[in-house]
A and B are shown apart, each in its own frame.
Chain A
Amino acid sequence: MALTGVEIFKLLPKTNCKKCGHPTCLAFAMKLAQRQASLDACPDVSEEAKKILGEASAPPIRPITIGVGDKAVKMGEETVLFRHEKKFVNPCVFAVEINDSMSDEEINKMVDDVLSSEIDRVGQKLRIDAIFVNNVSNDAGRFESVVMAIASKAPAVPLIIATNNPDAAMVAVKAVADKKPLLYGANESNVEAMANIAKTYKTSLGVTAKGLDALSILTEKIKGLGVDDIVVDHGARSAKEILEANTYIRRAAIKKNFKALGYPVINFAQRDDRVLESLVATLGVTKYASIVVLGSIEKWKNLALFTLRQNIYTDPQVPMQVEQKIYKIGEPTPESPLTITTNFSLTYFIVSGEIENSKVPCRLAVMDCEGLSVLTAWAAGKFTASKIAQFIQESGIENEIKHRELIIPGYVAILSGAIEDKLPGWKVIVGPREANGIPAFLRSKVSQ
């Protein structure tokens, strides 16, 4: 449970020496309680106070990172149950299962699919984040060689080493220890050996148990064995049980500050029916999974799941937006068309994508409307004739282009007369309503 300012104050040296930059220990304590200061600023705080305060101020769900470098993924640190309260923090990781009894050919193909899974959507690069290598063969030698083969083919992709056999775990983790994999498969019967491997090679440890009571006993035990970075699997596999267990874990962590389950959760969504698998993954994304393991990664499924994750993890207060300016698409000349839209990321990326498709060099004026879409901005009075006129005049575009024609989105055709009134000398042309009409429209326009 988070401590109050007064409770924190009791643990400070109470000398009011000001070395922390605050006039009194009490003032500093208040800032700490609001998480606006860091305990390090006080040089005189006791070791014991550090320990108590450190635990109390730790986030309710422990941050865990797997992998190294650019493609490392961070999980945990969530602070709320519902996304409208506050932004969800670390988007859940999508991992695909590769099992070591598959043929080398099949394995190669799947790794290729992971490597080519990256998609650009609304300015973000989205991909299958990790590979879950499952020791189905139960053969340590085979497992080690598969893990090594995957690691050399996909050196940057974070790995989850999945086995409950400590001998297999030992050789596989040892082979890729420098990549900070997650070792998954600790359970009641192997916990000492698995914790020992995780500790020796400094990896995080995935633990599974049937039931949340048994699970919390195991995480405490693992912590006692010296491993702090834990990922939990509650063992539920049907949608109903997953929802129940994920909800209880998230609530216990956030509302009760129950440390023994304050860890990222891994869910398994694999189903023979691939569309159904997408829906079980949807449950994971919306309801509290930090890792969702998939059985296959068809491009169509990835696109839907990446998009869902992006939607659920956007900031509910601030829409995703792009900078206000006049973007050049292709290599426009002073004669090239000038189009205008709002600065909502989604709008910008859709429209600029379609202009690119048209192969007609073009300027796209993007106006700051606080990240609202065209119609929303219009309805909210932010994309109005006078604001558009002012933006065009102040942009300096009149010095860059020879013509005086402005193409506006079809949905705001109603603005055309008023813009012409406010922008003397300009002609307003109404474009198509939907962006997918832009290529044909621009092509016919320049061929005139």
Chain B
Amino acid sequence: MAFAAPKETYSGKVFEVVIGTDKAVAFGGENVLPFHSFEGNVPHRPVIAYEIQDIPPDDWPETVKKVYGSVSGDPVTWAKYCQDTLNAKAIALRLLSTHPDRENRSPEDAAKTVKDVLSAINIPLIILGSNHVEKDSSVLVAVSEAAKDKNCVIGKAQEGNYKTIAAAAMANNHKLIAMSELDINLSKQLNILITQMGFDKEKLITDPMCSALGYGLEYTYSVMERIRLAALTQNDATMQPPMLADVGMYVWKIKETQASEAELPAWGSLEERGITWEAVTAASLLMSGAELLIMRHPDAVKAVEKFIDELM
């Protein structure tokens, strides 16, 4: 039997998104499944952003906290360290201190932090709220204004707060993350609602919600795969924004990245276990369709970059 390569061509294509100004980066743009450059066009590699916070990462486990020990006291120093020493291509600043159960800092405080960080770096910035639905709607409006025309990514708009956040992102020329909870229909619906407000669908990034290896990864994996197939095979424009995997925050809170080897000898070295857990979670979501990743440990980022090198 002669073998004929069963190539697939698709009617749809993922939108290409460019973020940042000085050292802008692009992701998305492919018209095939992830890394299927053998049958179509994969113009860009996925982008990994380093996650930083506006307050010291007290609740990060030691393995990853210690990496930033000398810089994490201040978001500006932290951001510069990621850019200059770790060669980050982008930074994701999480404004955790604005959460009402934390320091409950004001939107004005958050806006100042964002301005300070932006003036210290020239790589793209992703600005994330504290994931408190009400508070985020005021915080993310203030920071969108503070970062006007810097072509940042603002996130995350959810069902309960997308209106104000999308309006602010639109008025100040930013990209926007739309997050829903592990359901392809909810994800589609939110993208529709946001574009109905006049928000350009080509400026959206879909976050179908991440989960860590061993803690629901298969749900994120399959939702992403289904979204990507809908974008390509059905040419469904509401499913064509690139996808985000917010990996670090889910990985570095589970037991596998925290329990010591003394406690669980069968699990092996804690340090490598944590790094590998983050890298494997990220790699599997790359295989299912993520183009933008947010990660924490530099060694995990490096391993995933090498993996991408091999895949491109």
Contact = CB atoms under 8 A, between A and B. Distances in A.
A279 B280 contact: yes
A286 B287 contact: yes
Given A240-B37, A283-B287, A258 B3 contact: yes
A303 B284 contact: no
A262 B300 CA distance: 36
Task: Bin the interface of chain B by size.
Answer: 35 or more
A418 interface: no
A304 B6 contact: no
A282 B267 contact: no
Contacts of A304: 213, 256, 273, 276-277, 280
A259 B307 CA distance: 32
A276 B306 contact: yes
Interface stretch (B112-120, B219-227, B240-248): B219-227
A117 to B, nearest CB: 9
Contacts of A273: 303, 306
B108 interface: no
Interface in B195-230: 213-218, 221-222, 225-226, 229
B218 A240 contact: no
B269 interface: yes
Interface in B251-296: 255-256, 258, 265-270, 272-273, 275-277, 279-280, 283-284, 287-288
B272 A300 contact: yes
Given A84-B222, A298-B272, A275 B299 contact: yes
Q: Binding site of B, secondary structure by majority: helix, strand, loop or mixed?
A: helix
A308 B280 contact: yes
B214 A243 contact: no
Contacts of B277: 304
Interface stretch (A39-47, A309-317, A359-367, A422-430): A309-317
Contacts of A311: 213-214, 217-218, 221
Interface string B3-40: 10110100000000000000000000000000111100
A316 B225 CA distance: 13
B311 interface: yes
A270 interface: no
Contacts of A275: 272, 275-276, 279, 299-300, 303
A403 to B, nearest CB: 30
A346 B37 contact: no
A243 B303 contact: no
B218 A83 contact: yes
A238 interface: yes
Contacts of B82: none
B312 interface: yes
A282 B3 contact: no
B310 interface: yes
B217, B218, B288: most-surrounded residue (chain A CB, <10 A): B218
Contacts of B273: 300, 303-304
B123 to A, nearest CB: 24
Contacts of A82: 222, 225-226, 229
A83 B6 contact: no
Interface in B76-98: none
A283 B225 CA distance: 14
B68 to A, nearest CB: 19
Interface string A334-374: 00000000000010001000000000000000000000010
A260 B284 contact: no
Given A84-B222, A299-B267, A314-B218, A240 B311 contact: yes
A334 to B, nearest CB: 32
Contacts of A240: 35, 37, 310-312
A312 B221 contact: yes
Contacts of A282: 280, 283-284, 287
A373 B211 CA distance: 13
Contacts of B229: 82
- Which 6 pairs show the lowest CB-CB distances between chains A and B? A299-B268, A300-B268, A300-B273, A239-B310, A275-B303, A279-B307
11 contacts: A83-B218, A247-B36, A248-B6, A259-B1, A261-B3, A279-B279, A287-B287, A299-B267, A303-B256, A316-B218, A436-B255
